[in-house]
Structure 1
């Protein structure tokens, strides 16, 4: 059995360890996840890294679809770089694609120091951070993901003229720090706050001994992609999701 072709294992491990599902279990050649409402990343099944796309049979797909149905959930898969044959099988079964996503990373030394007057780190998050996240659609289920993420971890808070302007969450897995849940208040967007928070995440990661800062962003978020590119973050992999309603699975 061959490992699925994708971005390096350290990043696969880091993305999941720092934004974990509530439960995960093997089902044939797949890993099944229950994210407890924490979003697609914590709820999608993936091809087990110990298997190749050639190990995905019609029977194996029937089995994983039945597992989703047992939890009264629509079948949901994350398809990574190098899994085209698996993707083709899902297309044949009528699955539709959404949220093509790019995985980015850069060495910690690529980031300039952050401005300590504009931002700080803390754990656990304070009320204003939770309010900003809630305004951006990051509610209790995703905050629970942060709570169960591996340590070390911290939350980020940025300010513009002493007003809370943005938040983020960063955690460490091995030598890789991963930035999640970056959210800027609507009135303070396009004022440089996202750049401040990314460099703050890199500063914190540096103190934890990280070698790399990584994150994920949808292809549709062109403004964020332009910012991350200007900061030296480069593509290391990609994925997308496929799903279909329970009545069709």
Structure 2
């Protein structure tokens, strides 16, 4: 499935690397925070920027990534078949195939969520940081949220008078992208994910967005089921290739 380039522009703008550099036919991302901790694959992978690439550029990208104490890692988008084959021949393996979902904002708004179930807050409260941390979203990823440009917000959730979950939302080019949705284990299967998406859509429409998007790894059956059930549809996909097994 070929993904429209504008979606990848939205990903980079709403979940930005700390620095980028162009090396030949590739954009190389540096996802480290101020303390040198990695912000994850999405802000650390190199991606092809042109229709063609020079195999020597791959060597240069690998050298740059190793200089950042990073395992060589590439994002393979729809249409990057030559790069995919070249990396496979070098011993890179596929990790984390991802589905990109999209939908018109108006299709997601619906009725407002129940009172006190969702709140839009920026900056995030300590309880949200705790929920994210419990899900593996620590300071390096929090730094990504801080780097993202406005408009942006976080969603705090409550169910049964207790914290339920949190998510991050930012807008670029009329598309609101939801990142880092985390629901506490004891609050799952209670419907909070639907409420969070509805609140995010309401906030995004109020801030001029006309479309909602998000990313989900293919093997997350529950999350993929949620997004499909609320009317979001696949609009693209990508996967990573890692030389030494990933981060």
How far apart in 2 are the matches of 1:168 and 1:72?
29
Question: What CA deviation, in whole Å up to 9, does each residue of 1:199-233 have, x standing for no partner?
Answer: 11111101001000000000000111111011111
How far apart in 1 are the matches of 2:123 and 2:176?
18
TM-score by length of 1: 0.93
1:8 aligns to 2:9 (yes or no): no
| 1:221 equivalent in structure 2 | 220
Q: Secondary structure at the match of 2:224?
A: helix
| 1:164 equivalent in structure 2 | 163
Q: 236-245 or 7-16, which moves further after superposition?
A: 7-16
1:104 and 1:216 in contact (8 A); partners too? yes
How far apart in 2 are the matches of 1:73 and 1:133?
23
Q: 1:95 aligns with which of 92, 96, 99?
A: 92
1:10 and 1:176 in contact (8 A); partners too? no
What is the RMSD computed on CA atoms of the aligned residues?
A: 1.3
2:30 and 2:68 in contact (8 A); partners too? no
- Superposed, which structure 2 residues align to 1:56-205 within 5 Å? 56-111=53-108, 112-117=110-115, 118-205=117-204
1:113 and 1:203 in contact (8 A); partners too? no
Question: Which 4+ runs in 1 deviate beyond 4 A?
Answer: none
How far apart in 2 are the matches of 1:26 and 1:15?
18
How far apart in 2 are the matches of 1:245 and 1:221?
23
1:178 and 1:215 in contact (8 A); partners too? yes
Q: Secondary structure at the match of 2:209?
A: coil
* Offset at residue 163 of structure 1 (A): 0.8
2:169 and 2:176 in contact (8 A); partners too? yes
How far apart in 2 are the matches of 1:163 and 1:70?
45
How far apart in 1 are the matches of 2:7 and 2:181?
19
Structure 1 residue ranges without an equivalent (≥5): none
| 1:38 equivalent in structure 2 | 39
Q: 137-146 or 67-76, which moves further after superposition?
A: 67-76
TM-score by length of 2: 0.93
1:113 and 1:200 in contact (8 A); partners too? no
How far apart in 1 are the matches of 2:139 and 2:69?
21
Structure 2 residue ranges without an equivalent (≥5): 33-37
| 1:26 equivalent in structure 2 | 22
Question: What CA deviation, in whole Å up to 9, does each residue of 1:151-202 have, x standing for no partner?
Answer: 0000001111221101000000010000000000010001111111111111
